[in-house]
Amino acid sequence: MSGRFEGKIALITGAGSGIGRGIAMRLASEGARMILVGRTAAKLAETAELMGGIVDCEAADLSSAEANRNVAGQMADRYGHLDILVNCAGIYAAGPSDQIEPTDIEAVLSVNLVGLVDLTRRLVPLLRLGRPSGVVINVSSTLALTPVAGALSYSASKAAVSAVTETLAAEWGPQIRVNTVCPGFVDTPIHRQRGGTPTEVAKFLDQMASRHPMRRIGQPEDVAAAVAYLASDEACWVTGATLVVDGGLRVALR
Protein backbone atom coordinates (compact mmCIF):
# COMPACT_ATOMS: atom_id res chain seq x y z
CA MET A 1 0.00 0.00 0.00
CA SER A 2 1.33 3.48 -0.85
CA GLY A 3 2.48 5.76 1.94
CA ARG A 4 -0.13 8.53 1.75
CA PHE A 5 0.63 9.42 5.37
CA GLU A 6 4.43 9.22 5.40
CA GLY A 7 5.72 12.01 7.66
CA LYS A 8 2.26 12.68 9.14
CA ILE A 9 1.41 12.51 12.82
CA ALA A 10 -2.01 11.09 13.68
CA LEU A 11 -3.79 10.86 17.03
CA ILE A 12 -6.68 8.39 17.31
CA THR A 13 -9.00 8.26 20.32
CA GLY A 14 -10.72 5.01 21.20
CA ALA A 15 -7.80 3.19 19.59
CA GLY A 16 -7.82 0.27 22.02
CA SER A 17 -10.55 -1.65 20.22
CA GLY A 18 -13.05 -1.86 17.40
CA ILE A 19 -13.26 0.89 14.81
CA GLY A 20 -10.55 3.03 16.43
CA ARG A 21 -8.11 0.13 16.32
CA GLY A 22 -9.00 -0.49 12.66
CA ILE A 23 -8.41 3.18 11.81
CA ALA A 24 -5.09 3.25 13.66
CA MET A 25 -3.88 0.16 11.81
CA ARG A 26 -4.96 1.54 8.43
CA LEU A 27 -3.30 4.95 8.87
CA ALA A 28 -0.13 3.30 10.22
CA SER A 29 -0.06 0.91 7.26
CA GLU A 30 0.12 3.98 5.02
CA GLY A 31 3.00 5.50 6.94
CA ALA A 32 1.48 7.70 9.69
CA ARG A 33 3.25 8.08 13.01
CA MET A 34 0.53 7.09 15.47
CA ILE A 35 -0.47 8.27 18.91
CA LEU A 36 -3.11 5.98 20.43
CA VAL A 37 -5.45 7.39 23.09
CA GLY A 38 -8.12 5.55 25.07
CA ARG A 39 -9.30 4.64 28.53
CA THR A 40 -7.47 1.37 29.03
CA ALA A 41 -3.68 1.15 28.79
CA ALA A 42 -3.71 -2.64 28.26
CA LYS A 43 -6.03 -2.36 25.24
CA LEU A 44 -3.91 0.40 23.71
CA ALA A 45 -0.84 -1.80 24.21
CA GLU A 46 -2.61 -4.64 22.33
CA THR A 47 -3.27 -2.31 19.39
CA ALA A 48 0.32 -1.09 19.51
CA GLU A 49 1.57 -4.68 19.42
CA LEU A 50 -0.62 -5.46 16.39
CA MET A 51 0.99 -2.44 14.71
CA GLY A 52 4.54 -3.55 15.41
CA GLY A 53 4.99 -1.61 18.64
CA ILE A 54 6.48 1.66 17.37
CA VAL A 55 3.71 3.97 18.56
CA ASP A 56 2.95 6.21 21.52
CA CYS A 57 0.04 5.33 23.81
CA GLU A 58 -1.73 7.66 26.24
CA ALA A 59 -4.31 6.19 28.61
CA ALA A 60 -6.82 8.96 29.31
CA ASP A 61 -10.47 9.29 30.22
CA LEU A 62 -11.61 11.84 27.65
CA SER A 63 -14.57 12.89 29.76
CA SER A 64 -12.03 14.55 32.09
CA ALA A 65 -10.82 18.06 31.24
CA GLU A 66 -7.60 17.37 33.11
CA ALA A 67 -6.91 14.26 31.03
CA ASN A 68 -7.51 16.20 27.82
CA ARG A 69 -5.16 18.95 28.98
CA ASN A 70 -2.48 16.34 29.68
CA VAL A 71 -2.90 14.68 26.26
CA ALA A 72 -2.64 18.04 24.47
CA GLY A 73 0.37 19.01 26.62
CA GLN A 74 2.17 15.75 25.81
CA MET A 75 1.48 16.26 22.12
CA ALA A 76 2.87 19.79 22.23
CA ASP A 77 6.00 18.69 24.09
CA ARG A 78 6.75 15.58 22.04
CA TYR A 79 5.69 16.54 18.52
CA GLY A 80 4.94 20.28 18.33
CA HIS A 81 2.27 19.73 15.70
CA LEU A 82 -0.51 17.34 14.67
CA ASP A 83 -1.64 16.47 11.14
CA ILE A 84 -4.62 14.17 11.77
CA LEU A 85 -7.01 13.83 14.72
CA VAL A 86 -9.62 11.05 14.64
CA ASN A 87 -12.19 11.34 17.42
CA CYS A 88 -13.44 7.75 17.63
CA ALA A 89 -13.87 7.16 21.38
CA GLY A 90 -17.52 6.74 22.22
CA ILE A 91 -20.03 4.93 24.38
CA TYR A 92 -23.46 3.53 23.60
CA ALA A 93 -26.53 3.51 25.80
CA ALA A 94 -29.98 2.09 25.17
CA GLY A 95 -33.31 1.92 26.99
CA PRO A 96 -36.84 3.31 27.06
CA SER A 97 -36.80 7.11 26.88
CA ASP A 98 -39.42 7.56 29.62
CA GLN A 99 -37.09 5.87 32.10
CA ILE A 100 -34.00 7.87 31.26
CA GLU A 101 -32.38 9.95 34.01
CA PRO A 102 -30.57 13.22 33.35
CA THR A 103 -27.40 11.61 34.67
CA ASP A 104 -27.71 8.86 31.99
CA ILE A 105 -27.80 11.51 29.28
CA GLU A 106 -24.90 13.42 30.84
CA ALA A 107 -22.76 10.26 30.98
CA VAL A 108 -23.08 9.71 27.23
CA LEU A 109 -22.67 13.38 26.33
CA SER A 110 -19.61 13.72 28.55
CA VAL A 111 -17.68 11.35 26.28
CA ASN A 112 -19.36 11.50 22.87
CA LEU A 113 -19.79 15.29 22.78
CA VAL A 114 -18.10 17.26 25.55
CA GLY A 115 -14.92 15.16 25.66
CA LEU A 116 -14.65 15.23 21.87
CA VAL A 117 -14.99 19.03 21.70
CA ASP A 118 -12.68 19.61 24.66
CA LEU A 119 -9.81 17.50 23.33
CA THR A 120 -10.22 18.90 19.81
CA ARG A 121 -10.13 22.54 20.87
CA ARG A 122 -7.03 21.93 22.98
CA LEU A 123 -5.26 20.45 19.95
CA VAL A 124 -6.18 23.30 17.59
CA PRO A 125 -2.84 25.17 17.88
CA LEU A 126 -1.05 21.95 16.84
CA LEU A 127 -3.56 21.11 14.08
CA ARG A 128 -3.13 24.62 12.60
CA LEU A 129 0.47 23.61 11.85
CA GLY A 130 -0.63 20.52 9.85
CA ARG A 131 0.20 20.68 6.12
CA PRO A 132 -1.50 21.32 3.74
CA SER A 133 -4.17 21.52 6.47
CA GLY A 134 -4.75 19.87 9.81
CA VAL A 135 -7.51 17.27 9.60
CA VAL A 136 -10.17 16.34 12.15
CA ILE A 137 -12.46 13.36 11.57
CA ASN A 138 -15.30 12.73 13.97
CA VAL A 139 -16.84 9.27 14.17
CA SER A 140 -20.60 9.73 14.44
CA SER A 141 -23.26 7.15 13.48
CA THR A 142 -26.10 6.43 11.09
CA LEU A 143 -28.27 6.87 14.19
CA ALA A 144 -27.35 10.57 14.15
CA LEU A 145 -29.14 10.86 10.82
CA THR A 146 -31.91 8.30 11.32
CA PRO A 147 -32.58 7.86 15.03
CA VAL A 148 -34.39 4.70 16.11
CA ALA A 149 -36.45 3.92 19.22
CA GLY A 150 -34.54 3.24 22.41
CA ALA A 151 -31.24 5.07 21.87
CA LEU A 152 -32.12 8.65 22.80
CA SER A 153 -28.86 9.74 24.46
CA TYR A 154 -26.68 8.06 21.90
CA SER A 155 -28.52 9.43 18.85
CA ALA A 156 -28.68 12.91 20.41
CA SER A 157 -24.95 12.84 21.16
CA LYS A 158 -24.06 11.76 17.64
CA ALA A 159 -26.44 14.29 16.03
CA ALA A 160 -24.62 16.92 18.08
CA VAL A 161 -21.31 15.65 16.67
CA SER A 162 -22.61 16.42 13.18
CA ALA A 163 -23.50 19.96 14.25
CA VAL A 164 -20.09 20.36 15.89
CA THR A 165 -18.36 19.16 12.73
CA GLU A 166 -20.12 21.70 10.54
CA THR A 167 -19.53 24.54 13.02
CA LEU A 168 -15.81 23.80 13.32
CA ALA A 169 -15.40 23.37 9.55
CA ALA A 170 -16.89 26.83 9.06
CA GLU A 171 -14.69 28.36 11.78
CA TRP A 172 -11.35 26.68 11.18
CA GLY A 173 -10.86 26.61 7.42
CA PRO A 174 -8.53 26.90 5.63
CA GLN A 175 -6.04 25.73 8.27
CA ILE A 176 -8.09 22.74 9.48
CA ARG A 177 -10.55 20.49 7.64
CA VAL A 178 -13.26 18.90 9.78
CA ASN A 179 -15.45 16.01 8.58
CA THR A 180 -17.70 13.27 9.96
CA VAL A 181 -18.06 9.60 9.13
CA CYS A 182 -21.33 7.88 10.00
CA PRO A 183 -20.88 4.11 10.30
CA GLY A 184 -23.78 1.68 10.27
CA PHE A 185 -23.69 -1.45 12.41
CA VAL A 186 -20.05 -2.53 12.74
CA ASP A 187 -18.86 -5.74 14.37
CA THR A 188 -16.98 -4.47 17.46
CA PRO A 189 -16.92 -5.04 21.24
CA ILE A 190 -19.58 -2.31 21.65
CA HIS A 191 -22.14 -4.95 20.48
CA ARG A 192 -20.49 -8.15 21.62
CA GLN A 193 -20.54 -6.87 25.22
CA ARG A 194 -24.35 -6.66 25.15
CA GLY A 195 -24.61 -10.09 26.78
CA GLY A 196 -26.32 -13.33 25.78
CA THR A 197 -25.01 -16.73 24.77
CA PRO A 198 -22.74 -17.03 21.71
CA THR A 199 -25.74 -18.40 19.76
CA GLU A 200 -27.91 -15.44 20.78
CA VAL A 201 -25.18 -12.98 19.84
CA ALA A 202 -24.70 -14.70 16.46
CA LYS A 203 -28.46 -14.57 15.81
CA PHE A 204 -28.54 -10.86 16.69
CA LEU A 205 -25.63 -10.12 14.34
CA ASP A 206 -27.40 -12.05 11.53
CA GLN A 207 -30.57 -10.05 12.12
CA MET A 208 -28.61 -6.81 11.95
CA ALA A 209 -26.89 -7.93 8.73
CA SER A 210 -30.26 -8.52 7.07
CA ARG A 211 -31.30 -4.90 7.76
CA HIS A 212 -28.44 -3.53 5.65
CA PRO A 213 -29.04 -3.39 1.87
CA MET A 214 -25.47 -4.72 1.47
CA ARG A 215 -26.62 -7.77 3.54
CA ARG A 216 -23.71 -7.81 5.93
CA ILE A 217 -22.63 -5.88 8.98
CA GLY A 218 -19.58 -3.67 8.69
CA GLN A 219 -16.05 -4.39 9.75
CA PRO A 220 -13.71 -1.79 11.27
CA GLU A 221 -11.71 -1.87 8.00
CA ASP A 222 -14.76 -0.59 6.08
CA VAL A 223 -14.84 2.57 8.21
CA ALA A 224 -11.04 2.86 8.29
CA ALA A 225 -10.94 3.05 4.48
CA ALA A 226 -13.33 6.02 4.51
CA VAL A 227 -11.39 7.74 7.28
CA ALA A 228 -8.15 7.24 5.34
CA TYR A 229 -9.70 8.99 2.34
CA LEU A 230 -10.89 11.95 4.43
CA ALA A 231 -7.50 12.18 6.15
CA SER A 232 -5.61 12.13 2.86
CA ASP A 233 -4.70 15.02 0.60
CA GLU A 234 -7.13 13.57 -1.99
CA ALA A 235 -9.85 15.08 0.21
CA CYS A 236 -8.11 18.49 0.36
CA TRP A 237 -11.29 20.31 -0.73
CA VAL A 238 -13.63 18.31 1.51
CA THR A 239 -14.63 19.96 4.78
CA GLY A 240 -17.87 20.07 6.76
CA ALA A 241 -18.94 16.85 5.04
CA THR A 242 -20.69 13.74 6.34
CA LEU A 243 -19.57 10.49 4.74
CA VAL A 244 -22.08 7.72 5.45
CA VAL A 245 -20.36 4.33 5.54
CA ASP A 246 -23.18 2.02 6.53
CA GLY A 247 -23.88 -0.64 3.92
CA GLY A 248 -27.05 1.34 3.09
CA LEU A 249 -28.55 1.10 6.61
CA ARG A 250 -29.71 4.73 6.60
CA VAL A 251 -31.80 4.40 3.47
CA ALA A 252 -33.28 1.12 4.72
CA LEU A 253 -34.29 2.68 8.05
CA ARG A 254 -36.04 5.68 6.44
Residues catalogued as catalytic:
154
Query: Which residue number, 12 or 133, has a Cβ lying nearer to ligand NAD?
Result: 12
Residue 37: is it exposed, middle or buried by C-beta count within 10 angstroms (0-12/13-18/19+)? Answer: buried
- Residue 161 binds ligand NAD, judged by CB under 6 A: no
> Of 5, 20, 24, 222, which lies in the binding site for ligand NAD, with binding defined by CB under 6 A?
20
Q: How many other C-beta atoms lie within 10 A of the C-beta of residue 225?
A: 14
> Of 41, 45, 76, 91, which lies in the binding site for ligand NAD, with binding defined by CB under 6 A?
91
Q: Which of the ranges 59-67, 170-178, 197-205, 230-238 carries the binding residues for ligand NAD, by CB under 6 A?
A: 59-67
Least distance from C-beta 149 to ligand NAD, angstroms? 17
Phi, psi angle pair for 59, to nearest 5°: -80, 125
- Residue 141 binds ligand NAD, judged by CB under 6 A: yes
Q: Is-contact 191 203, C-beta < 8 A?
A: no
> Of 7, 40, 73, 234, which lies in the binding site for ligand NAD, with binding defined by CB under 6 A?
40
- Residue 88 binds ligand NAD, judged by CB under 6 A: yes
> Of 8, 10, 11, 17, which lies in the binding site for ligand NAD, with binding defined by CB under 6 A?
17
Beta-carbon contacts of residue 219 (< 8 Å; ≥ 6 apart): 22, 186, 187
Nearest to 119 by CA among 168, 53, 170: 168
Query: Which residue number, 133 or 146, has a Cβ lying nearer to ligand NAD?
Result: 146
Beta-carbon contacts of residue 29 (< 8 Å; ≥ 6 apart): 1
**H helices present in the chain, as ranges:** 18-29, 41-50, 65-78, 102-109, 116-127, 142-145, 152-172, 189-192, 198-211, 220-231, 249-253
What's the full length of the chain, in residues? 254
Q: Binding mask 179-218 vs ligand NAD (x if CB under 6 A, - otherwise)?
A: ----x-xx-xxx----------------------------
Residue ranges that bind ligand NAD, judged by CB under 6 A:
13-14, 16-20, 38-40, 43, 61-63, 88-92, 111, 115, 139, 141, 183, 185-186, 188-190
